[in-house]
Amino acid sequence: MNSTLSHSLLISGAAKPIRCGLLIAILAAAPARTEPVSPELRDALLKAYPEHLAQIEGNTLFWRDGSSMPLDDNEGEKSPFDWLEKPDIADMFRYPYPAGEEPRPPNENSDPGRARPHGFFVKMYGDCRKDGIKSHLVEIVWLPTIAAQRLKVTRINGVAECPSSGFLGHMSV
């Protein structure tokens, strides 16, 4: 993910009560929030999963099978606990990966990649508690020169074929 992408995509609500007239003036002057993720993130999401995702319009993600789901649950800025426990798709992009930077521990309450919206990933990869995913699994040897542990991983989106990208580390299929 591009390190120049926004750290936060959610807009928090007003912190103090505002008189009704002032609130109406502010809302009228503010641009409508129609896109829960930036155009760059929208394009990256569609590019990452081209076999599954068709398009994004406003707050709606359309899948190639004709189904759809919201990108943002419109709950505003979430606490770190809620961000992990109840993430939406937009929450996945709250903290960018520090691409190209020297590895370092993340800042407090900042953990790129940890927000995983359950519904999105079950739709994408299937429910591991059901038999439907078994036909997509292939056995790999994880870290063959260190641990030589045999794992089953999915073929969906090329996950099992990613040893050279570093996605699964050093492995053999």
DSSP string, the chain: --TTS-S-------SS---HHHHHHHHHHSPP---SS-HHHHHHHHHH-TTTEEEEETTEEEETTS-EEES--S--SPPHHHHHHS--TGGGGSS---TTSPP-PPPTT--TT----HHHHHHHH--TTSGGGGGGEEEEEESTTTT-EEEEEE-GGGGGG-GGGTTT-SEE-
Amino acid residing at 171: M
Question: Does 150 share its domain with 121?
Answer: no
- Tokens of residue 104, six digits: 């370092």
Q: How do residues 46-88 score in pLDDT, each as one tens digit?
A: 998 999 999 999 999 999 999 999 999 999 889 989 999 999 9
Average pLDDT over every residue of 133-137: 88
pLDDT exceeds cutoff 80 at 165: no
Q: Beginning with the edge strand found earlier in the chain, give each strand of the sheet holding 68-70 in spatial order.
A: 53-57, 60-63, 68-70
Q: Residue 142: which pLDDT band, with cuts at 50, 70 and 90?
A: confident
Number of domains in the chain: 2
Q: What residues contact residue 102 under an 8 Å CB cut-off, 6+ apart?
A: none
Tell me, yes or no, whether 25 lies in a domain.
no
pLDDT given at position 70: 95
pLDDT given at position 171: 42
Tell me, yes or no, whether 26 lies in a domain.
no
Q: Residue 111: which pLDDT band, with cuts at 50, 70 and 90?
A: confident
Q: How do residues 116-126 score in pLDDT, each as one tens digit?
A: 999 999 999 99
Share of the chain above pLDDT 70, in %: 73
pLDDT given at position 9: 27
Q: Which of 51-55, 106-110, 151-155 has the lowest mean pLDDT?
A: 106-110
Q: How do residues 8-46 score in pLDDT, each as one tens digit?
A: 222 233 333 333 333 333 333 333 344 678 888 899 899
Calpha distance 27→20 (Å, rounded): 10
Calpha distance 112→4 (Å, rounded): 14
Question: Does 67 share its domain with 139?
Answer: no
Calpha distance 58→114 (Å, rounded): 24
For residues 113 and 97, is the Cβ–Cβ distance under 8 A?
yes
Average pLDDT over every residue of 151-169: 71
Question: Does 92 share its domain with 145?
Answer: no
Tell me, yes or no, whether 2 lies in a domain.
yes
Higher-scoring residue by pLDDT: 103, 50: 50
Question: Does 71 share its domain with 144?
Answer: no
Question: Does 66 share its domain with 147?
Answer: no
